[in-house]
Chains A and B, each alone.
Chain A
């Protein structure tokens, strides 16, 4: 489309291939955007369930999930509201580790993530397996705070961050795709920041 008269934009580092199109570097900031009030989730009663098309539906409590082999993500995160945060460190457990325990039925193609608040989001199974997704409870070495999804959130850093459901409590494996909260409300089903899949209708 046409150039906007008079617009030059922020100074840009040439050849910065870590910033997806339409995103900017938020630096040390970490904006929070939610559609609901931040819940206070008690780790003594919190549980995480993986069920649906798995061999062994499994529920972990706080202690049980910490007993699994730990895993960290070091890298960038991208929000559809156009900020990107470089070089974050999250620690928790990989979704692969959970699925190794539950097993995956061959007909499973998608996952449906649910938060304690009722927030939901849908993802292709391939986007949460193969070292691409985590359940995390630490950010930069400190407990994940409630406004950022603590005590435990999903982390799928190669997709826009609304896919990384805060306050996660359940992953259901399904043989079909069904839209979650933001997806029903106008946002993209997959949300790849490098393809700018922000809203329904984007390629």
Chain B
């Protein structure tokens, strides 16, 4: 963890709370909701950063959670993809209640560590909804022609539990499903399984950095594989999430 923040990063912005107006709401599969919003006084983000969303009840009680940004910095709207967690106080509200035209308190962009500035050859490995920050990175890579520097691998139980699956596939991302067999282009089938070391090792060749985003168990699992593949632990940047609702 001795490396400095990415060379192209902007100076940190002392972000303050502002208002976001919801412009699009789309339910994706059974567990995800895509919320696209217009942020007042917005500062450009770097792919990998997140926003905090704060909800306020009539008695001034508040609840806030962080959500990774899925959109490219050039997108006029900020896109979040929120997984609805069981009894999730904020995710449940965003899934069930939010409508186009609603106003939300938001703060961001935040985070200067789990970010990709488009210059470092990198491998991103995502578990489930952990793919969201990498979608921002891939959109940025496509717009700036830096795709050769960004490889993505994603794992999920089923395709329905992997948001942006089509977009990832079109980008050329490696996808592993742990509970569904996957037909391959050559007519064969990948039998449901976690990512195998043999699948990750080729993707890690030549990289200078790895980003891993997923549950605690997933991050630990991928960290071991990357270590066996010869990726130094101080080249691995981690964002992990637990049941924080």
Complexed CA–CA distance, A12 and B19 (Å): 26
B181 at the interface (CB under 8 A from A): no
8 Å CB contact of B240 from A2, A26, A33: A33
A3 at the interface (CB under 8 A from B): yes
Contact A118 B2 (CB under 8 A): yes
Contact B241 A33 (CB under 8 A): yes
Main secondary structure of the interface of B (DSSP, over half): mixed
Complexed CA–CA distance, A182 and B113 (Å): 8
Closest chain B CB from A190 CB (angstroms): 15
Contact A9 B112 (CB under 8 A): no
The 8 A CB mask of A21-65 against B (1 = contact, 0 = none) is 110101001011111111100000000000000000000000000
Chain-A contact segment, one of B23-31, B161-169, B189-197, B215-223: B215-223
> Of all chain A residues, which has the CB nearest B66?
A81
Contact A83 B110 (CB under 8 A): no
Closest chain B CB from A50 CB (angstroms): 21
Closest chain B CB from A28 CB (angstroms): 11
Complexed CA–CA distance, A181 and B97 (Å): 37
B179 at the interface (CB under 8 A from A): no
Contact B237 A35 (CB under 8 A): yes
Contact B238 A36 (CB under 8 A): yes
Main secondary structure of the interface of A (DSSP, over half): loop
Interface residues of B in 28-67 (CB under 8 A from A): 54-58, 61-66
Interface residues of A in 96-148 (CB under 8 A from B): 117-119, 147
Contact B244 A147 (CB under 8 A): no
- Note all chain B residues with C-beta closer than 8 A to A199: 14-15, 107, 110
Contact A37 B243 (CB under 8 A): no
Closest chain A CB from B4 CB (angstroms): 9
B73 at the interface (CB under 8 A from A): no
A18 at the interface (CB under 8 A from B): no
> Of all chain B residues, which has the CB nearest A181?
B1
The 8 A CB mask of A171-203 against B (1 = contact, 0 = none) is 000000000011011100000000000011100
> Given contacts A2-B103, A29-B243, is CB(A7)–CB(B56) below 8 Å?
yes
Please list 8 pairs of residues, one from A and one from B, whose beta carbons are closer than 8 Å in the complex, sorted by A's number. A4-B57, A8-B57, A8-B58, A12-B61, A82-B63, A118-B1, A185-B113, A200-B14
List the interface of chain A (C-beta within 8 A of B): 1-10, 12, 21-22, 24, 26, 29, 31-39, 81-83, 117-119, 147, 181-182, 184-186, 199-201
